[in-house]
Structure 1
Amino acid sequence: MSELYNNIEPNVVDDEMLQKAIEEQCPEDIGKLAKRTGINFKDVTELELSFRNILQIDNLWQFEKLTKLQLNNNIIEKIEALESLVHLVWLDLSFNNIEVIEGLDTLVKLQDLTLFNNRISKIERMDTLQELQIFSIGKNNLTTLKDVIYLRRFKKLRTLNLRGNPLCDDEQYTLFVVAHLPDLVYLDYKRVSDTTREIAVLKYQDLIEPLEREEAQALAQLEQEQAKQKELEYHKAAFVEYLNGSFLFDSMYAEDTEAAKLAYLPGEFVSVCENLFNYGLKEHEKREAEVSDFYESLHEALTANQQEGRKLILDFENRNKRRLYEIRNASSYDIAESKRAEYKEDILQLSDALMTLEMLIADQLEVRVKHVPVRPHIQNMGAFSLTIFSTITQCRDLENRHHEELIDISITTLEKSVKNELDEDLPADVQMLLVDKTTIVNAVNASHGIHLLKIDKRESDILSNTYRWQSSVTEKAAQNEINRNRERVREIIQYIDNLQEELDNLRDPED
């Protein structure tokens, strides 16, 4: 570390530094106001913390809406404490002492990243930055051209700066980069020419083709996994995940080491689960349709109310344009005051009318939200729950029947083993169970208990998710209406205040 760096006194990113930085980046008049009243960090979208001798990134978690952050020209050694800045689009960490790329996983909206003039030796840990368009990592310690291959995953990358790294000394540097990043438009501040691109493709064709095949396979696998995940989420929404196959049956035996030693047939059990699965999907579609109809009815009522409100405002504005003109051009103070009083009364009447209209729609929507449960598939989910109970009971009956049959088979096998009448040799672990009747019965009973617990848990999970969804529908609708009502009341108050302020600002003809 240089002597200059040793002599620098590091600064801490505290509230005082942040407040000062915000004041400095505001226009003079706004900056003075911010100094008097303070600024809510949660409302700040851009923040410049350059040239402040910052050693450690910290205390930025409050900047929830930040889209642009400048931390260049400091003495930062590690990228950290940025995980809460999920809306960040532009990040400048140039001219610091960073050695490793890290701590960027949550910045999925990042489009412009500058790490120019640091101590980075490898391009890595940026997989989530799929929106990246501009990347500057010049004047670092990158030594191998293969590092560039990592950047192929950023399909939107158009501008790249690597100038000043040791890898740039390779005579094939430009062609290698252009060949491996075919969508690149600018490299090291220069536009990539068509000629350079053609030469690069020809030179590295044999290396690029295997890469493209691997990437195509990886993409196909990713799309397949995403499709499976999307399907699973749909099944979860219907409360029937993992019931379209032998998943539940297999899970009954996954932790049952004793049962794994004995034969079992899942066919009938799986069929019952699949029946419940198909039923659950149909019921899910019905519920989704009813929820959609419910919100559509709310929207229709709200739209009608809004149209009535707009008509009130339009009528008011048309009626009072002339009155404002008359106030401004009144021939005497008394006439102006009379017109002003009439206009003020109209404002009050408009306020009352708008507030009454809002109160009516609020009451109307509140009643509709409270009566969501009356809908058959939203509240009266008794039929759904009863079907679940009935189907799971079938699963239990099958398990009980299987248990009884397994007891009989096990005892018969034990008796044949004692008499040396078995047709074939059994595996050693099975023979260990055939010691006596107590051992084999205990093993089968223990297995049976595990299976029933698995079935009970699956039933409990389905019913719990059902009731949780049922509550969430009404709670979400109610909260949305509360938020809408508050916002609408604020809008009305602001509009009326603006009208009143406009009236108050009218000058008297004698002034």
Structure 2
Amino acid sequence: MSQLYNNIEPNIIDDEMVQKAIEEQCPEDIGKLAKREGINLKDVTELQLGFRNILQIDNLWQFENLTKLQLDNNIIEKIEALESLVHLVWLDLSFNNIEVIEGLDTLVKLQDLSLYNNRISKIEHMDTLQELQIFSIGKNNLTTLEDVSVIYLRRFKNLRTLNLTGNPLCHDEQYTLFVVAHLPDLVYLDFKLVSDTTREVAVLKYEDLTELLEREEAQALAQLEEKQAKQKELEYHKTAFVEYLNGSFLFDSMFAEDTEAAKLACLPGVGNLLQAYPSWFVSVCENLFNYGLKEYEKREAEVSDFYEGLHEALTANQQEGRKIILDFENRNKRVMLLYFFFIVICPLFPSIKELIKDFKGNIAVIASTFIENCRDLENHYHEKLLEISITTLEKSVKNQLDEDLPADVRMLLVDKNTIVNAVNASHGIRLLKIAKRESDILTCRFTAWFQSVQAFQNEIDRNRDRVREIVQYIDSLQEELDNIEILEPME
């Protein structure tokens, strides 16, 4: 039975409780030292807080490196405030008043979890605990075998030890066979080794159900992998600044928020125009898409070569610098150190800046060319649409329209201003979509790339700091030389 409130006042985890727990779990001599001088909470890897009448979990965020946490035999009602304990491997929350499994999402390293003797009626919200090996959830409120809780545990591929004893579902005579059949990798169930005989009988009895589950899981896994592959491909396209250009996405987005476009499409002749326009527009997008991917590969290769060359140059410069400085100290030749500064280090700076400058210029040219092509197509479509709209208006005025147009379309044909305004508004919406794509390429996308190579600027700053140190060193040595009354002749 879960713990009940008693005459002792419920507690929360505060500094005093934590400090006392640390002192108690340390050896006597170390405990006295910890009490006198304190202890760095980041160094604590295990913490025992059982039997302390704790009602609310709190104040554990400082234990960054905690791997083992014991909170058993308290009156805790909610799993919370554990987000920062990302290194936790062992967690004991048994003998509490917990009703819902929650608050465990960040504990991705957890291997051993005990929720024994609580009030839980469903196993859920544990998807991120893929390292889980031992799970104890006996004496809770899990009711029937057909409940999704047991099936839910199939997602934990490392689960080898499970305790469900004491739950209502254990009263079912098929309980053991059902669990073993659905969790084929289980080694221990309710503190007992799963025998080969039990496993064989279980597999035969529930073969049809497990095969159906396996097919459904395989299908779900395939869908997940496909989704992940598409997401990975999208991220790749984003790094090349060409996401959603390999198809009709941009074209479709231009019309998605255009309420007038659907009406205007009903005008005689617009249907034929709309058949050709998408293919022209998509062709321009796909040309940029293919070009962008090629340029991305080229750019990545250039960046990689630059980093490699930069590393080699810095290594060589460091070696040469040590040699020159040593020679300078021995021979007092300032000119050699100045040579190192002006000839060896300084040329690194413009090469970094030039690479970024050239790329920014290239992408501006590519983007502007693409956008101009898109605008030209849109302007051409707009001109044709406007021509068709006015012609239709003239026929409507003369009652020469053969088509039976919808009422909302006929409302646009009341006069020239109404139809022209509708066509222009539609045109304006599409131009805004094109302009936004231009902004994305030239501003957002380039900025993201620039941030990814910010190490360039960091390297510049680091080298400048070193140059300042060298110059200061030169000045100090020169001052020492000036104070010498007799100077050795320079070789």
Do they fold alike, i.e. is TM over 0.5? yes
Q: How many equivalent residue pairs?
A: 432
* Secondary structure class of the residue paired with 1:131: coil
Relative to structure 1, the CA distance from residue 470 to residue 171 in structure 2 (aligned partners, 3 Å threshold; closer, same or farther) is closer
Q: State the partner residue of 2:380.
A: 401
Residues of 1 paired with 2:357 and 2:157: CA distance? 44
Q: State the partner residue of 2:353.
A: 373
Residues of 1 paired with 2:38 and 2:315: CA distance? 39
Residues of 1 paired with 2:346 and 2:191: CA distance? 60
Residues of 1 paired with 2:134 and 2:3: CA distance? 33
Residues of 2 paired with 1:305 and 1:198: CA distance? 70
CA deviations on 1:209-245 (whole Å, 9 max, x unpaired) are 2111111111111111011000011111111111111
* Secondary structure class of the residue paired with 2:259: coil
- Asked whether 1:284 is paired with 2:263, we answer no
Relative to structure 1, the CA distance from residue 149 to residue 382 in structure 2 (aligned partners, 3 Å threshold; closer, same or farther) is same
Relative to structure 1, the CA distance from residue 76 to residue 446 in structure 2 (aligned partners, 3 Å threshold; closer, same or farther) is same
Q: Is the 8 A contact 2:133 2:158 kept in 1?
A: yes
List aligned pairs for 1:168-207, cutoff 5 A.
168-207=170-209
One-letter amino acid matched to 2:363:
F
Q: CA RMSD in A?
A: 3.2
One-letter amino acid matched to 1:227:
A
* Secondary structure class of the residue paired with 1:55: strand
Q: State the partner residue of 2:470.
A: none
Q: Is the 8 A contact 2:2 2:117 kept in 1?
A: no
Q: State the partner residue of 2:100.
A: 100
One-letter amino acid matched to 1:372:
I
Residues of 1 paired with 2:349 and 2:77: CA distance? 54
List aligned pairs for 1:344-423, cutoff 5 A.
371-375=351-355, 380-423=359-402
Q: State the partner residue of 2:479.
A: none
* Secondary structure class of the residue paired with 1:448: helix
1:154 to 128, 153, 156: 156
Residues of 2 paired with 1:366 and 1:474: CA distance? 20
Relative to structure 1, the CA distance from residue 20 to residue 298 in structure 2 (aligned partners, 3 Å threshold; closer, same or farther) is farther
1:456 to 435, 438, 447: 435
Residues of 2 paired with 1:474 and 1:237: CA distance? 12
* Secondary structure class of the residue paired with 1:100: coil
Q: State the partner residue of 1:117.
A: 117
Q: Is the 8 A contact 1:239 1:465 kept in 2?
A: no
Residues of 1 paired with 2:66 and 2:297: CA distance? 40
Residues of 2 paired with 1:302 and 1:88: CA distance? 41
2:308 to 271, 296, 314: 296
Structure 2 gaps of 5+ residues are 266-273, 321-339, 463-491
Structure 1 gaps of 5+ residues are 309-359, 484-511
Q: State the partner residue of 2:248.
A: 246
Relative to structure 1, the CA distance from residue 302 to residue 11 in structure 2 (aligned partners, 3 Å threshold; closer, same or farther) is farther
1:65 is displaced (CA, Å) by: 3.3
* Secondary structure class of the residue paired with 1:403: helix
Deviates further, 22-31 or 154-163: 22-31
Deviates further, 46-55 or 441-450: 46-55
Q: State the partner residue of 1:319.
A: none
Q: State the partner residue of 2:424.
A: 445
Q: State the partner residue of 2:212.
A: 210
* Secondary structure class of the residue paired with 1:50: coil
Residues of 2 paired with 1:138 and 1:437: CA distance? 78
TM-score by length of 1: 0.77
One-letter amino acid matched to 2:429:
I
Deviates further, 179-188 or 34-43: 34-43
- Asked whether 1:221 is paired with 2:248, we answer no
1:191 is displaced (CA, Å) by: 1.7
- Asked whether 1:136 is paired with 2:136, we answer yes
Identity %: 78
* Secondary structure class of the residue paired with 1:252: helix
Residues of 2 paired with 1:182 and 1:158: CA distance? 9
Q: Is the 8 A contact 1:373 1:380 kept in 2?
A: no
Deviates further, 421-430 or 24-33: 24-33
1:453 is displaced (CA, Å) by: 1.2
